[in-house]
A and B are shown apart, each in its own frame.
Chain A
Amino acid sequence: MTIPTSSIDQVIPGQGAMAQPEEAKPVKAKRQRFRFVTNAKAATGLVILGVYLLFAVIGPWIAPYDPGARSSQLVAPPSPDHWLGTTHLGQDVLSQLLVGTRGVMVVGLTAGVAATILSVIVGVTAGYLGGGWDDALSALSNVFLVIPALPLIIIVASTFQNAGSTIVALTIGLTSWAWGARVLRAQTLSLRRRDYVEASRASGETTCRIIFFEIMPNLTAIIASGFVGTVIFAVATEITLAFIGIGGISNWNWGEILFWAQSQQALAQGAWWWFVPAGLAIAFLGTALSLINFGIDEFVSPRLRSAGKTKIKTASGHTVRMRVGFTPVLANSAEPHTHARPMPINLNGATPVQRTEEVNP
């Protein structure tokens, strides 16, 4: 797969490296939101994500078999009957993948929502209120940031006798909000000092109103990127948990498919169809989410956009590269671009000579 290179409109000054204002301005929000979807990376990611969401909805209906149903074809390679082969019990791998999509997406999104809500509450409060609140909440998020999350989640989830997907989702959500909170705090802090926020405060608007109507709209991109990031982490984590045998019994989480493949010696039997599709499904979902996040990053910080056309042809036919520090010289002649004939001596100064601008080559 490739990420399409961006179009040339990304090299206009004001949007390229020379552009100074990088924060999304409230006035322009609508137009820019539209621009975001036109970002090739984000669009690719959203399309792939859409396909996953579709399967999450219709997966159980279109699955050709009951994912748990056994058959006599044990560890059979892909065939017209079983497109992705079967497991050690003769179960259809494709059906397991299709049915599993819903569980993976639900857990990922639930955890993402939970973590995002927490990070917004903690981050915005810390950034806006400042002082002791800020110190306490920042310390709290830093603690959650450095404590290794996965072992903690494993321990918490395994402490429950039978951890269902809700518990898994909430545990992941509760332990992965810190990164978002940190970024949001920093951004809120800088927004708080902007003139328009100071102005609303001076004009006596309530704190709630300022937070929801002045600050939050400008945090949209960061919140979105934090949400997507948490979903990536949550999907990876729930699959990991299922892979090591915690939680999500029999909802055919992809990690569970891998768990059985690993424990039933799929590797030794050369049964690639058993674990390769599930891994690819995870990888493509992760890639789609990452692409959406790259899109958001580039939208927030235009410098990161791919350089557009980096190689250009000069008048003499050489190819030069756009690079910092050595501006390309396309044509090196002292010929003027706008042809203007010298004005003849005309002491009356009445009739100017006709001169038209020539379009640059």
Chain B
Amino acid sequence: MRYVLQRIAFYVFTAWAAMTINFFIPRMIPGDPVQALLARFQGQLNSDAIESLYVLFGIDKNSSLWSDYVDYWGQLFRGDLGLSFSAFPSPVSEIIGEALPWTVALVGITTVISFLLGTSLGVLAGWRRGSWVDGLLPVTTFLSSVPYFWLGLLAIFLLAGPDSFFPSSGGYEGGLVPAWDQYFIPSAIQHSLLPALTILISSVSGWILSMRNMMVTVAAEDYITVAHAKGLSERRVALSYAARNALLPNVSGFALSLGFIVGGTLLVEIVFSYPGLGFLLFRAVGAKDYPLMQGIFLIITIAVLVANLIADILYLLLDPRTRKEG
């Protein structure tokens, strides 16, 4: 339990650090970006938006940095991430709220599948060295070096098209209303297949490789020899002894590399115009919609932190050594 509390404290600290970075980034901008923005959105911004812009960018010469910082946190706690420029006057939180479920479903599910699949293949590759799975390694190395978004482009080029089963863009058929019904759900699944496949193919190889290396390392441990000496079945030795121990570093690796993975998967959304956070971020960058960008960054960070915490708890359940005795 103490371990979990420690981890939670660390994640709270990280969240604070991320939000503080978020607070300072606009203040590093050379020149006077707000004036440029105000000029661009002349007449479109009401006084509330200008006010939040001031807090966001710290342009208000009359207030100190500290009071800006306090105001910033005040806004955050109210769930107020400011107003979007590009979709003015919608609040950023509302826009993100619409995009978030798409990303959670697509990226979350495919990342978990990729981890499970890659780990299982890695167990095979590491246990039976020299088998067909080893032949996959060069291929997977190459695939993991391909940028996610380029693989997406290729997938669209090769598999999608006017007559294809796979739609090349969007999250669902135009004209459908998002709802839990028999029209919308199949359409959403159909639209997510190609992006999911892209993410899966480019991310699975990393897991195969790291699990293989862990299996190879663990296979030389004494307790594996003991397990063989005990006359246990090959399956039992491979899974309950070797894979069970090799999994531990892979789970903590999963937690640590989530940040990297999520970054890559967001790009896939852009290629497929998938209505998630990645595509939203892309549009926000294009429109220089700073409040939206920062909001997305915060949400992604928090999501990654939560996922990290889950991975930590999983690790805790898997490794008795981290558990506190009685």
Contacting pair A146 B288 (CB below 8 A): no
Chain A residues within an 8 Å CB radius of B123: none
Chain B residues within an 8 Å CB radius of A278: 150
User: Chain A interface secondary structure, helix, strand, loop or mixed?
Assistant: helix
Query: A235-271: which have CB < 8 Å to B?
Result: 236, 239-240, 243-246, 258, 261-262, 267, 270
Contacting pair B141 A258 (CB below 8 A): no
Given contacts A139-B10, A142-B10, contact A287 B17 (CB under 8 A): no
Residue A156 CB within 8 A of the other chain: yes
Contacting pair B142 A287 (CB below 8 A): yes
Residue B137 CB within 8 A of the other chain: yes
Contacting pair A149 B13 (CB below 8 A): no
- Scan B228-267; emit 1 where CB is below 8 A from any A CB, else 0: 1000001001000000000000000001101110111011
Size of B's binding interface in residues, CB under 8 A = 74
Which residue of B has the minimal Cβ distance to A157?
B285
Chain A residues within an 8 Å CB radius of B14: 142-143, 146-147
Which of A30-38, A104-112, A305-313 contacts the other chain? A305-313
- Scan B104-145; emit 1 where CB is below 8 A from any A CB, else 0: 000000000000000000000000111000100110011011
Chain A residues within an 8 Å CB radius of B259: 145-149
Which residue of B has the minimal Cβ distance to A262?
B153
Given contacts A147-B259, A262-B153, A307-B129, contact A326 B228 (CB under 8 A): yes
Q: How far is the CA of A351 from the CA of B219 in the complex (A)?
A: 51
Residue A301 CB within 8 A of the other chain: yes
Chain B nearest Cβ from A53, distance in angstroms: 17
Chain B nearest Cβ from A259, distance in angstroms: 10
Which residue of B has the minimal Cβ distance to A285?
B145
Residue A78 CB within 8 A of the other chain: no
Which residue of B has the minimal Cβ distance to A289?
B145
Chain B nearest Cβ from A303, distance in angstroms: 6
Given contacts A147-B17, A150-B263, contact A275 B150 (CB under 8 A): yes
Chain B residues within an 8 Å CB radius of A29: none
Chain A nearest Cβ from B212, distance in angstroms: 9
Residue B179 CB within 8 A of the other chain: no
Chain A nearest Cβ from B26, distance in angstroms: 6
Contacting pair A325 B224 (CB below 8 A): yes
How many pairs of A and B residues are in contact by the CB < 8 Å rule?
188
Contacting pair B137 A276 (CB below 8 A): no
Residue A85 CB within 8 A of the other chain: no
Given contacts A17-B220, A282-B146, contact A148 B301 (CB under 8 A): yes
Residue B63 CB within 8 A of the other chain: no
Contacting pair A304 B256 (CB below 8 A): no
Contacting pair B228 A244 (CB below 8 A): no
Residue A297 CB within 8 A of the other chain: yes
Chain A residues within an 8 Å CB radius of B237: 325
Chain A nearest Cβ from B105, distance in angstroms: 18
Size of A's binding interface in residues, CB under 8 A = 67
Contacting pair A150 B266 (CB below 8 A): yes
Which residue of B has the minimal Cβ distance to A17?
B220
Q: How far is the CA of A17 from the CA of B262 in the complex (A)?
A: 36
Residue A154 CB within 8 A of the other chain: yes
Which of B29-37, B43-51, B188-196 contacts the other chain? B29-37
Which residue of A has the minimal Cβ distance to B137?
A3
Contacting pair B130 A311 (CB below 8 A): yes
- Scan B280-291; emit 1 where CB is below 8 A from any A CB, else 0: 011001101010
Contacting pair A279 B147 (CB below 8 A): yes
Residue in contact with B267 in the complex, picked from A233, A243, A301, A307, CB distance below 8 Å: A243
Query: B271-321: which have CB < 8 Å to A?
Result: 271, 281-282, 285-286, 288, 290, 293-294, 296-297, 300-301, 304-305, 308
Contacting pair A146 B304 (CB below 8 A): yes
- Scan B53-71; emit 1 where CB is below 8 A from any A CB, else 0: 0000000000000000000
Q: How far is the CA of A2 from the CA of B168 in the complex (A)?
A: 32
Which residue of A has the minimal Cβ distance to B29?
A159
Contacting pair A244 B282 (CB below 8 A): yes
Contacting pair A258 B293 (CB below 8 A): no
Which residue of A has the minimal Cβ distance to B145?
A286
Q: How far is the CA of A272 from the CA of B93 in the complex (A)?
A: 39
Seed contacts A146-B258, A244-B267, A284-B145; 10 additional CB < 8 Å A-B pairs:
A148-B301, A151-B266, A159-B26, A240-B147, A243-B147, A267-B156, A275-B157, A282-B150, A290-B145, A325-B237
9 residue pairs A–B, Cβ–Cβ below 8 Å: A3-B137, A148-B300, A148-B301, A149-B259, A236-B147, A236-B264, A275-B157, A287-B141, A294-B141
